[in-house]
Structure 1
């Protein structure tokens, strides 16, 4: 085909189309919380004074004119419709009217409210008390009325709908609560919350597709914690009295369970025997040296004061001579005849050794008697007093 012929055909088509209206574009039905809206976009070539006509139908009915298109004006590109059956399938169409001319119909895709409606976002009512957050989820209203005239909420029309409640601390999810029966009487509760912390509560619809639900979010800042009670001091003031009472009770129980054994008392006969065997200590007289000389030299008779004074130097001199040299048994060519002082010194040593041995034997005898008495009383179990009668304890 020659270019000249193509030019002639285009000029003819333009002349034929001149004065004809083009239909709207992007016609679609949308529903949110069961409120239905028909959206379209006018053609740019449509005159500004053009009006639009809307019709709808379901699977069993014919096209019905939406004469009372809710909220739309003659030049509006949005028309609100009312479909009473949420399980039925609906269609809608729209055309432009201008200067007595009409465009062709532009139809939308099908819509089923139960399947295609968008849910939410709900309204959140929060109450913080004692670091516990109570949240009541209030779903939006639908166009469906009760017999009382009030509008039903979404969760009473879409019965499969319920919500998850997510609690975020910053961007961190800290709690997740199921709110299947949320109401003003039984709100969802979240706790325990920290003081002076910012939290955000978000809802997630369950029972519907995620892309068909809208989330609600509400953030709050918890108040600062009140001045802390001195728990440490209170616990210590309670702990120490309890500890003292416990120790006192334990001591009382020990005394009740394990009493002290009664004091063992010696029989009177053994006590008298022990007293009789006690030997009083030696009492030194005014002149102990004279008493010693009387003990050492009993065969010579008592000495007077002058004789004792004269005898002392001789005794000391004999002691010195006796210590200076040693002779085996007092015999030998170099051993002189012992003097009177040396004889006295030897007699004094022998008498002193005899006295010491006697005292040691007496002490041992008294100790053995005391031990035998104690063992005898332990086996007999007598309960007399152990105190020594009429004398002090010799031990």
Structure 2
């Protein structure tokens, strides 16, 4: 091998050798700390020209605590710090995240994110919206999104949470009407056309958070054409309950009179219960049965025998009847 070739090889090893010997990898790119509904997630992209098999370790810190390692040797390109039961993640805290890449025994330098304030920088997600239609009105019922830390009204205060409602006839989105700065999570859209389908969309803002909330999925509902039906049903129900209550009270107060009327104790008038006092009734009551008189009877056969007390039979013989005197 010529001397020039050896010098060229040594030069290449000098230029590229320290990176391999020191084991320093390029760090992740586009590292950012984000928050959605009060969670805390660090996201990043792989290093440029990264080989396969890379894993990552990520940490976070607050204004008053040092870095805490959460995700270790993970192949994912994000780490959810709020998934851990860590009380140091406060909704009013200021946080920073960092991540490094690892390949075997080699590791990159730490790459930090920008700081964020959780209450100011979190994105408020879309609420859940349900509709109830009656006649020419639609009631909008809004359910706040679920937060990873605290609740919406606890984090910002009930008076600082604002609901914005947009509604339009189905198929006419360009004619949408907005109701803004509403403080109640229930609202009635009135003076609508009957037998018409309306769509509603809601997003939430908080006075302490400059970022607009994400809008909900549009929900549609059709109005009805029977005015006054719910009111009439309520009145009829009230009257039925009032009459039943009055009947019950009267039954309790006049229970004795009602019982005597339905089940009287005397079935017959008193005059029918008294025994008659006529002379015929008295004579019949005090009379004795009459004395009976009878004569003995004997039966004499042809041979002169006498049978007493035996029944007469058709024997074809003649007989005479002897009647004795009593």
TM-score range, shorter chain: 0.5 to 0.7
| Structure 1: runs of 5 or more not aligned | 145-151, 228-395
SS in 1 for 2:35: strand
**For 2:212 and 2:13, how far apart are their aligned partners in 1?**
49
**Aligned counterpart, 1:75:** 75
**Aligned counterpart, 2:200:** 201
**Aligned counterpart, 2:38:** 34
The counterpart of 2:153, out of the listed 146, 155, 161, is: 155
- Within 5 A, what are the aligned runs for 1:155-234? 155-159=153-157, 160-169=160-169, 170=172, 171-174=174-177, 176=179, 178-182=181-185, 187-208=186-207, 211-223=211-223, 225=225
SS in 2 for 1:142: coil
1:86 deviation in Å?
1.9
- Within 5 A, what are the aligned runs for 1:294-333? none
Q: Which has the higher strand share?
A: 2
- Within 5 A, what are the aligned runs for 1:1-395? 12-18=14-20, 19-66=23-70, 69=71, 74-82=74-82, 84-144=89-149, 152-159=150-157, 160-169=160-169, 170=172, 171-174=174-177, 176=179, 178-182=181-185, 187-208=186-207, 211-223=211-223, 225=225
SS in 2 for 1:203: strand
1:165 deviation in Å?
1.5
1:135 deviation in Å?
1.0
**Aligned-pair Cα RMSD in Å:** 2.9
**Structure 2-normalised TM-score?**
0.57
Which of these two proteins has the greater Rg computed from alpha carbons?
A: 1
**For 2:196 and 2:99, how far apart are their aligned partners in 1?**
54
1:113 deviation in Å?
0.7
Q: Which has the higher helix share?
A: 1
| Structure 2: runs of 5 or more not aligned | 1-6, 83-87, 228-326
**For 1:177 and 1:210, how far apart are their aligned partners in 2?**
16
CA contact (8 A) 2:137 2:223 kept: no
**For 1:225 and 1:73, how far apart are their aligned partners in 2?**
63
CA contact (8 A) 2:205 2:212 kept: no
SS in 2 for 1:32: coil
Question: Which digits, 9 at most, give the CA deviation of each residue in 1:122-164, with x for residues without a partner?
Answer: 11111112221111111111123xxxxxxx4323322222212
**Structure 1-normalised TM-score?**
0.47
Length, aligned pairs only:
208
